Homo-oligomer: A and B are copies of this chain.
């Protein structure tokens, strides 16, 4: 994560990876077939971690709109709390929201529920996903380039809820809730790597 966040996913690496990991070339190849392999693995591991936590927090809620709102808020707040995560997400670019990603696992169910319960308009599923993924990713990416107003996360969520069909009042009611920060498990990948993270100046050069 440290390397991908800093260099971008496509800027060559392996040497950086192994030196950052304190591991030999040979060892790297014992565990990963290629660089992208590692990136995919890291992405999946990270996704699994976050998804589990989000689902824990969300599973008790009846209202799909509330589940969706809270989930997206948690995602955004985690990105703000862990710049490494925001940076990694930006580097992974649209791949981070690709087929095997957290958001795409998490969202469709809640959206579908919302439509069935009449809380959301009957938008085509893909369109909803594009809007949410795109909006969230851009907001997070921006947060890793310049500092963003942390309150704006609520605006993002409210706007997304409105686009799905909620009234402004309703949208704000859900978006405005206080949200306790995620509690990462002791050995969490994100927690461990964030400990070593020292953000570098952003050249913007290799950004996606």
Interface, chain A (partner B; CB < 8 A): 8, 10-11, 36, 90, 93-95, 97-98, 121, 123-124, 126-131, 133-139, 141-142, 148-149, 152, 155-156, 159-160, 162-165, 168, 205-208
For A130, give its contact among B36, B128, B138 (CB under 8 Å): B138
What copy number does this chain have within its complex?
Answer: 4
Which residue in chain B gives the minimum CB-CB distance to A93? B208
Residues of B with C-beta under 8 A to A159:
123, 127-128, 131, 163-164
Q: What residues of B have a CB within 8 angstroms of the CB of A142 in the complex?
A: 126, 130
Known: A134-B134, A207-B98. A121 touches B156 (CB 8 A): no
Give the residue name and chain of the B residue nearest to A99 (CB): B204
Known interface pairs A123-B155, A130-B142; 19 further A-B residue pairs with C-beta atoms within 8 A, sorted by A's residue number? A94-B94, A94-B137, A98-B207, A124-B152, A127-B139, A127-B152, A127-B155, A131-B134, A131-B138, A131-B156, A131-B159, A133-B134, A133-B138, A134-B134, A134-B135, A137-B138, A159-B164, A162-B162, A162-B165
| Chain B contacts for A121, CB-based, 8 A | 168
A162-B95 Cα distance, complex, nearest whole Å: 27
Shortest beta-carbon distance, A6 to chain B, in Å?
A: 16
A10: B residues at CB distance < 8 A? 8, 10-11, 206
CB distance from A3 to the nearest CB of B (A): 16
Contact of A152 among B90, B97, B126, B206 (CB under 8 A): B126
* Cβ-closest chain B residue relative to A11: B10
Q: Does B148 contact A131, Cβ atoms closer than 8 Å? A: no
Q: Which residues of B contact A168 (CB under 8 A)?
A: 121, 165
Q: Give the top 7 A-B pairs by smallest Cβ distance, nearest first.
A: A134-B134, A10-B10, A134-B138, A163-B163, A130-B138, A159-B163, A131-B135
A146 to chain B, nearest CB (A): 9
